[in-house]
C-alpha cells in the first residue's frame, strides 16, 4: 500500500493523511494474526470448538492495536520529518501513559485473584474434607456458561461464583463442619445459613458482580424446596442455577471421607433425573454437552487415614441429587 513512500522524506512523498491507509492496514493484519494464534491456542489447549475459541477475540483486540499503531505512525512521521528524531520522542509520553494504565489494570486483576485465593484457602483450611471442591465447581460452572454462549466478564463472574460458593462456611462453627456422625436438626439449620454468611462476606467486593447472588442462592431448587428463601424457577438467579448443577455434579464424582465417588455417567443420570425439580434442565443439558466435548477428571479431596481407610464423616445435608455432600 506504499507505506514506506508515505513516510518520505522527499518531494515525491504523499501527504501525511495517505499514510493512515497503510498504517491501519498493518495494524489490522497484525491484529488478525494475533487473533488467529490466540484462538488456535485456546482451541488446542482447552479443547474448545473453533467458534467458541475465537468468539470475541478480534473485537477486544482491534481497538488497542489500532490506537498503538497510529501512535507508532505519528512517531515515524515526526522522526522522518523536518523536526527530527527528538520530536518523535514526544510520542513516547502518551505511549507511556497507555502502558501505565494497562499495567494498573493487570495489577488490579492480580489483586482480585489474590482475594479469591485467600478466601478459598481459608475455607479449605476450615473444612479439609472438601479441599479442591471449590476450584472444580468453578471449572464446571465455566463449562456450563461457555455452552450457553457466555464470555468475557460474565465468564469471569460465574467462575468466581463457583469458586466462592461455599465461602459462607467460614461463619459455621468448625465443630459442626468436622463433626463425626449425623447432625442434629439445630446443627443442620446452622449449616443452612452458610449461603447468607457467604453473601455477607462478599457483599462489599464490587468486582464479583452477579457472583454474589449465586453465592446466596446456589442451594435454591427449581420446585421451591431449597434454601435460604425457597425461590423457584426463574426467580433463582441464572448464575446460581449454574453453580447448583456444578456443585452437585462435583460432589457426586469426588471421593470424600464419607462417600465414594460415583462414575460420571451415573452422576449425569442423577442430574437428568432431578432436572426440572431440583435443577434447571437447561443448565444440566449444557453440562452434559460440555462433558461430552471436554470430559471430566474427578479428584480425591478427602483426607485418609495412614492405613488407607476412610475416616467416617456424616455430613449435614444430602445434596438434591442424593449424594451425602456437605451443602
DSSP 274-296: HBTTTB-HHHHHHHHHHHHHH--
pTM, entire model:
0.69
pLDDT of 296 strictly over 80: yes
186: which 3 cell numbers?
439445630
Burial class (CB in 10 A: 0-12, 13-18, 19+), 30: middle
Q: Tell which CATH classification among 3.40.50.1820, 3.40.50.10800, 2.50.20.10, 1.10.3210.10 matches the domain 110-294.
A: 1.10.3210.10
From first CA to last CA, the distance across the chain in angstroms is 63
Q: Which of 3-7, 79-83, 148-152, 211-215 is the most confident on average? A: 211-215
Residue with cell 476450615: 126
**pLDDT digits 0-9 by tens, 144-180:** 999 998 888 889 899 999 999 999 999 999 888 877 7
pLDDT at 12: 56
Would you list the domain boundaries of the chain? 3-90, 110-294
SS3 content of the chain, % helix, strand, coil (to 5): 65, 0, 35
Q: ∠ CA(97), CA(205), CA(327), 5° rounding?
A: 140
pLDDT band at 322 (very low <50, low <70, confident <90, very high): very low
Q: What is the mean pLDDT of the chain?
A: 82
Q: How far is CA 38 from CA 57, 173, 222, 293, in A?
A: 8, 46, 39, 20
User: Taking the CA of residue 134 as centre, how many other CA atoms within 13 Å lie in the half-sphere pointing to its CB?
Assistant: 24
Q: ∠ CA(234), CA(239), CA(241), 5° rounding?
A: 55
pLDDT of 95 strictly over 80: no
Amino acid at each position: 500500500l506504499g507505506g514506506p513512500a508515505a513516510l518520505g522524506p522527499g518531494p515525491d512523498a504523499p501527504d501525511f493523511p495517505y499514510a493512515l491507509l497503510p498504517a491501519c492496514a498493518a495494524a489490522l493484519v497484525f491484529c488478525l494474526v494475533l487473533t488467529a494464534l490466540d484462538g488456535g491456542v485456546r482451541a488446542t489447549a482447552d479443547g474448545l470448538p473453533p467458534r467458541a475459541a475465537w468468539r470475541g477475540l478480534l473485537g477486544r483486540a482491534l481497538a488497542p492495536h489500532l490506537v498503538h499503531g497510529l501512535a507508532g505512525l505519528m512517531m515515524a512521521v515526526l522522526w522522518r520529518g523536518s523536526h527530527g528524531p527528538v520530536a518523535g520522542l514526544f510520542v513516547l509520553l502518551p505511549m507511556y501513559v497507555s502502558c501505565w494504565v494497562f499495567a494498573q489494570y493487570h495489577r488490579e486483576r492480580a489483586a482480585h485473584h489474590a482475594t479469591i485465593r485467600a478466601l478459598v484457602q481459608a475455607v479449605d483450611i476450615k473444612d479439609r474434607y472438601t479441599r479442591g471442591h471449590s476450584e472444580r465447581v468453578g471449572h464446571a460452572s465455566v463449562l456450563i456458561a461457555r455452552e450457553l454462549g457466555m464470555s468475557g466478564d460474565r465468564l469471569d463472574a460465574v467462575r468466581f461464583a463457583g469458586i466462592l460458593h461455599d465461602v459462607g462456611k467460614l461463619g459455621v462453627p468448625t465443630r459442626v463442619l468436622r463433626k463425626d456422625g449425623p447432625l442434629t436438626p439445630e446443627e443442620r439449620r446452622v449449616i443452612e445459613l452458610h449461603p447468607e454468611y457467604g453473601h455477607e462476606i462478599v457483599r462489599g467486593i464490587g468486582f464479583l458482580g452477579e457472583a454474589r447472588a449465586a453465592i446466596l442462592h446456589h442451594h435454591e431448587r427449581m420446585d421451591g424446596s431449597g434454601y435460604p428463601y425457597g425461590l423457584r424457577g426463574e426467580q433463582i438467579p441464572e448464575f446460581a442455577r449454574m453453580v447448583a448443577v456444578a456443585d452437585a455434579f462435583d460432589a457426586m464424582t469426588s471421593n470424600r471421607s464419607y462417600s465414594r465417588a460415583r462414575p460420571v455417567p451415573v452422576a449425569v443420570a442423577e442430574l437428568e433425573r432431578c432436572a426440572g425439580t431440583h435443577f434447571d434442565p437447561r443448565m444440566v443439558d449444557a453440562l452434559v454437552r460440555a462433558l461430552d466435548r471436554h470430559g471430566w477428571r474427578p479428584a480425591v479431596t478427602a483426607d485418609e487415614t495412614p492405613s488407607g481407610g476412610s475416616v467416617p464423616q456424616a455430613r449435614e445435608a444430602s445434596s438434591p441429587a442424593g449424594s451425602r455432600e456437605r451443602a
